[in-house]
Structure 1
Amino acid sequence: MGDFARMAFPNESAAYREARNALLDAEIALRRQTETVAAMRRALPPGGEVPEDYVFERIGAHFRPEPVRLSELFGEHSTLLLYSYMFGPERDSPCPGCTHLLDSLDGAARHVTQRAALHVVARSPIARLAGWAHGRGWNHLSMLSTAGNAYPSHYYGNTAALTPAMREQRGYKPDENWDEPMLNVFRKEGDGTIRHIWGSELVFAPDDPGQNHRALDAIDPLWALLDMTPEGRGETFFPKVNY
């Protein structure tokens, strides 16, 4: 990776420094690959126009549910991020994987929304979602109910839109459907046209042996921090909703 002055910590061995320098070179290569992938994402051609102006529900004035259209969710921005939360009405409690991620994103939301609109959508009624967010202490995330619209199936917030080939490859039954943690990005053009820009398709990509899908690790500080430890993520650990 080229010559540059390397660090050294107190009392480290020569073997440690040699291995650490090799790791640093790999980390630099990964950083560059991350930048390359981000540039490829930004350079994608325009995606497909959304088929309809979906109607969601949010908590409005006087804490009453009110409808809001997809086109309104952009606010002052031209870019919109929608995270599909695995908290449908059939669940007694939400997905712990989604929940720990949203614990972190709540802190980031105040910063993200300086540049793009960000909302969390789920199939549960909006009163249930708002109550959960309040109890969780999420003060910066905007919660929306899909209110029975077609958004989750159109944009893979659940498995309803999987093709028979995808179901067969993954061993899913034809009548089995559940929510998925999909992140989708949309852009509103100057004439008001809304296009899909990117979705976290790694959610549905085949897993590597010994791994889960890791589709949203790039925005997940929990796994990033554990990857820095000697023990790593562990073989059995998975976050809980409550401890």
Structure 2
Amino acid sequence: MTAKAVPPVVDAETWQRRLDDLRAREKAATRELDAIAAQRRRMPMVEMPEYTLDGEEGPVRLAEVFGDRTQLIVYNHMWSPGKTWQCSGCTGFTSQFTRLEFLDAYDAKFVIVTQGPIDETLAYKRRVGNRMTWYSTANSPFGSDVGAPPGGGFAVNVFLRDGDTVYRTWHTEGRGTEQLSHSFALIDLLPYGRQEEWQDSPDGWPRSPTYSRWATSEDIAAFYGAEA
């Protein structure tokens, strides 16, 4: 058919039987994710100290970041001081979230916090065309206390507010964030998948070094930024 390796061609009955086998595993995984979410809803929480972050309008207490909501998701974006282009993974991940109003019905918000100074943070937001609300923890220990210290990696944290008291309810990092991304979900549907060296694929499938197909921060700026 082509020079590139392709899946074997079978009759429709055989294809349906293989799909049915796969569907059983997919449904089992869905039920497992439901069970994990149920366990997450039963997690205890820990009270947080008061923090003051820097926002677009000036200093703001962590409890005020919620606005009138009681639930808050925070993505801690990696930050390299003095760099024009920040982490491409963080930049690409957060570029996906352009319409978050649906969270209003769930009494929730989703924001970005970074270790960068607020002026640099907001300039970077504009440069790459990000649509989310950004805050800086450069003058606060908040990032360090939730698993994203200066020079450290990215993280996702979830908080619950009761009045002016904020509680931490969940945290993840690394590949734990993949479930929040639609990009990997779409790519994993493709016959060739992510095409990365670590991926379990048939012999002859295209393979590339890990991350090599990811959009760079410059790419994201060209797609969505102020000059795009």
| TM-score interval, normalised by the smaller of the two chains | 0.7 to 0.9
Matched pairs, number: 194
Give the TM-score of the pair, scaled to structure 2: 0.79
- CA shift at 1:194, angstroms? 1.5
In 2: Cα distance, 1:109 partner to 1:101 partner: 14
Matching residue of 1:165: none
SS at match of 1:99: helix
Matching residue of 1:44: 43
Give deviations 1:129-170, integer Å, cap 9, x for gaps: 11221232223x111111321111111013xxxxxxxxxxxx
Matching residue of 1:146: 137
Matching residue of 2:168: 196
Alignment of 1:114-193 (within 5 A): 114=105, 115-139=107-131, 141-158=132-149, 178-190=151-163, 192-193=164-165
Distance 1:57 1:112, change over 3 A: same
Name stretches of at least 5 consecutive residues in structure 1 with no aligned partner.
1-10, 61-65, 159-176, 204-212
In 1: Cα distance, 2:40 partner to 2:214 partner: 29
Give deviations 1:99-135, integer Å, cap 9, x for gaps: 1111102x24232244312220111111111122123
Give deviations 1:217-243, integer Å, cap 9, x for gaps: 111111111100011111123332133
Give deviations 1:10-62, integer Å, cap 9, x for gaps: x95222111110011111111111111111101112x1111x211111112xx
Matching residue of 1:234: 195
Alignment of 1:204-243 (within 5 A): 213-235=174-196, 236=209, 237-243=213-219
RMSD: 1.8
SS at match of 2:184: helix
In 2: Cα distance, 1:86 partner to 1:126 partner: 14
SS at match of 1:215: helix
Q: Retained in 2: the 8 A contact 1:56–1:145?
A: yes
SS at match of 2:75: strand
Matching residue of 2:31: 32
State the AA in 2 paired with 1:68: V
Q: Retained in 2: the 8 A contact 1:87–1:122?
A: yes
Give the TM-score of the pair, scaled to structure 1: 0.74
State the AA in 2 paired with 1:109: L
Matching residue of 1:208: none
Name stretches of at least 5 consecutive residues in structure 2 with no aligned partner.
1-9, 197-208, 220-228
In 1: Cα distance, 2:78 partner to 2:141 partner: 16
